[in-house]
Amino acid sequence: MTRQEFLAGLDDAVSLPVGTLQGSEQLEDLENWDSMAMVSFIALADSHNGKQLSVKQIGQCKTVAELLQLAQVEE
């Protein structure tokens, strides 16, 4: 999965039009970054490389870029 595809998946997870998220966004500013979106992110990361993330690690992320880093999505 490319970075663009991963971001498109995250757009969908937080109910934004595809192409909205770029990486620098603060998670606390995303209205729909909730438990359902977190589940979608876990699924995206699993589909990307089979990496299973800990919920604690996800909770420590402050930005979209940190989520991408955690999921090991290449720049």
Partner 1 sequence: MHASIAGIEYVLPEQALTTASLAAEFPDWDVEKIDSKTGIHTRPVAAPDQCASDLAELAARKLFERGLVKPEEVDFVLFCTQTPDHFLPPSACLLQHRLGIPVTAGAFDFNLGSSGYVYGLGLAEGLIATGQATTILLLTGDTYSKFIHPKDKSVRTIFGDSGTATLVRAVEQPALGPFLYGTDGRGGPNLTVPAGAMRQPHSPETAREYGDDSGNVRSLDNLYMNGAEIFTFTLQAVPASVNGLLAKAGLTADEIDLFVFHQPNRYMLEHLRKKMKLPAEKVPVTIEHCANTVSGSVPIVLKHAGLDGKLQPGSRILLAGFGVGYSWGATLLRWNQLATV
C-beta of 53 vs 75, nearer to partner 1: 53
Closer residue to partner 1 in complex, CB, 46/69: 46
Residues 41-70, interacting with partner 1 (CB under 8 A): 42-43, 46-47, 52-55, 58
Binding residues for partner 1, how many (CB under 8 A)? 17
- A 10 A CB-CB count for 65 gives 16
> In this chain, which of 2, 4, 26, 32 binds partner 1, going by CB under 8 A?
32
Please state, in angstroms and as integers, the Cα–Cα distance from residue 47 to each residue in 6, 9, 26, 40, 72, following that order: 10, 11, 24, 10, 12
What is d(CA 19, CA 54) in angstroms, rounded to the nearest whole number? 27
